[in-house]
């Protein structure tokens, strides 16, 4: 009987999908992600279901949208004992482990059997430089000004610890439990802020990247939801250029770490029977529209890198199908020949991976609630060449992604598109149920503070059951 396939799921934090060599970016150096893509399939139209950390990760884990699981903010509690990818695999005989950032509030395992290192009781993002009162209550510093070369000794950085812990876990698995299939999730915190990386990566990009230009009248024409983000997340000039240099450096650092993980997998003879999945929880505006960070529906924030390599997947494919992080749960179930739970709202993308059929869906949804302001919310639908966003205040946007990939021209008020807009609006309202949104939002239990404000970043779960803080 053939052994069931393993799953190595590598997740980054806030990786703009366009910043990869295999995505056509000629400045960034990502040889290992490029090699991974050359060995499998890259999805050029992959979207998160909410461009914010906790909601997106909850959607990925559960295969559900925010309107179903109620997760809209970074302080929301995902219900304990929920149906998740690791819980389903664990219940069917898989060994499951998570190393790195989870951003769980409350319950810290959600079906994973092991968590040797990560943000068990911490914020995940390491203060860099070391925590001081000048860096503010979160210890992370200004999110744009505090960018550059890391001042943390490399062996103490989360990136390097994730590689070391994953290598150790895979070594001991081969020695002690090689007959058991596994799912290992390795979650890096980069390129999320603090945007700091080893000096040689930072110096390589310093002075080579410029913040994209924004038309002078853009802000005045933007819908209120977008204007709100511009007010909070805007940056300009050299600070923005420096931020992008460090951001690119963080991605190359992470790419280098992923390359070492894949080397370990190959050296241990595990690569032939392992699906390797790389993605991110959401993107980053990277200066587009004059702002950084996420929460908006532009592709720079909602698109995610998605690369899958594994048994039966033809090498070097690029899919243009519109897929989402909510599709990972049913896809992994099919990869491992397990039943897909009824709670999953995504669809399996295995037919695309194996060239055996079409995707059983024509569109995908994404929701967003602006940080700390529940009344500022919206829902996006992506279908064919169109993107339509409808907001709680009644504003809306329509973009022709094929002709306007930068999403500069909002066609929502053009008379020739009103029939199409009415169709999309009805689909969004039927799915999102905006009249019920504020009740859903209010019903979700929340932590009194974000994990960003916890005193330590990550913890080690020791063999004797003790949880020890890993500084900084």
Domains and CATH numbers, the chain: 6-363+447-470 (3.40.720.10)
Indicate the SS3 state at residue 343: coil
Q: Say what the pTM is.
A: 0.97
Give pLDDT tens digits for 50-83. Answer: 999 999 999 999 999 999 999 999 999 999 999 9
Give the C-alpha separation, 71 to 472, whole Å: 29
Average pLDDT over residues 221-242: 86
* pLDDT of 471 over the 90 cut: no
Give pLDDT tens digits for 108-158. Answer: 999 999 999 999 999 899 999 887 777 777 778 888 889 999 999 999 999
Burial 250-287 (b: 16+ CB within 10 A, else e): bbbbbbbbbbebbebbeebebbeebbbbbbbbbbbbbb
Indicate the SS3 state at residue 153: coil
* pLDDT of 1 over the 60 cut: no
pLDDT value for 451 = 87
At 209, the pLDDT band (50, 70, 90 cuts) reads very high
Give the C-alpha separation, 77 to 73, whole Å: 9
Tell which wins on pLDDT, 429 or 3: 429
Token pair 């829902």 is found at 379
The set of residues, in sequence order, having a beta carbon less than 8 Å from that of 111 and lying 6+ positions away, is 84, 85, 86, 87, 88, 89, 90, 96
Give pLDDT tens digits for 403-434. Answer: 999 999 999 999 999 999 999 999 999 999 99
């Amino acid at each position: 009987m053939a052994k069931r396939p393993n799953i190595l799921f590598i997740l980054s934090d806030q990786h703009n999908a366009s910043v990869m060599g295999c995505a056509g970016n000629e400045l960034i150096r990502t040889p290992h992600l490029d090699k991974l893509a050359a060995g499998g399939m890259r999805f050029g139209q992959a979207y998160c279901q909410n461009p914010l950390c906790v909601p997106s990760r909850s959607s990925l884990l559960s295969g559900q949208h925010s309107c179903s699981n109620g997760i809209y903010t970074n302080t929301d509690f995902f219900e304990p004992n929920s149906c998740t990818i690791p819980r389903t695999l664990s219940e069917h005989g898989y060994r499951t482990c998570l190393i790195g950032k989870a951003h769980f509030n409350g319950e810290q395992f959600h079906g994973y059997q092991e968590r040797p290192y990560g943000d068990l009781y911490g914020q995940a993002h390491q203060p860099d430089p070391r925590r001081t009162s000048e860096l503010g209550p979160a210890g992370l510093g200004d999110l744009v000004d505090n960018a550059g070369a890391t001042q943390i000794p490399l062996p103490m950085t989360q990136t390097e610890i994730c590689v070391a812990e994953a290598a150790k876990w895979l070594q001991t698995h081969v020695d002690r439990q090689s007959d058991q299939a596994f799912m290992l999730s390795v979650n890096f915190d980069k390129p999320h802020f603090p945007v700091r990386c080893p000096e040689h990566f930072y110096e390589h990009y310093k002075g080579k990247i410029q913040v994209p230009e924004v038309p002078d009248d853009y802000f005045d024409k933007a819908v209120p939801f977008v204007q709100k983000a511009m007010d909070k997340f805007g940056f300009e000039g050299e600070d923005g250029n420096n931020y992008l240099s460090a951001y690119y450096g963080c991605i190359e650092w992470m790419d280098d770490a992923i390359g070492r993980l894949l080397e370990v997998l190959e050296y241990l003879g595990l690569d032939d029977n392992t699906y390797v999945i790389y993605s991110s929880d959401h993107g980053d505006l990277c200066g587009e529209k004059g702002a950084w960070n996420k929460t908006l529906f532009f592709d720079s924030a909602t698109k995610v890198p998605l690369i899958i390599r594994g048994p039966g997947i033809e090498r070097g494919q690029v899919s243009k199908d519109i897929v989402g992080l909510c599709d990972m749960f049913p896809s992994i179930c099919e990869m491992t020949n397990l039943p897909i739970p009824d709670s999953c709202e995504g669809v399996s993308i295995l037919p695309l991976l194996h060239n055996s059929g079409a995707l059983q869906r024509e569109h995908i949804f994404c929701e967003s609630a602006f940080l700390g302001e529940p009344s500022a919310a919206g829902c996006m639908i992506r279908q064919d060449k169109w993107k339509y966003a409808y907001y709680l205040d009644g504003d809306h946007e329509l973009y022709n992604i094929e002709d306007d990939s930068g999403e500069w021209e909002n066609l929502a008020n053009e008379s020739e598109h009103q029939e199409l807009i009415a169709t999309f609006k009805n689909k969004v309202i039927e799915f999102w149920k905006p009249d019920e949104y504020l009740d859903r939002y209010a019903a979700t239990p929340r932590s009194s503070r974000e994990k960003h404000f916890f005193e330590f970043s990550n913890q080690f779960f020791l063999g004797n059951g003790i949880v020890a803080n890993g500084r900084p």
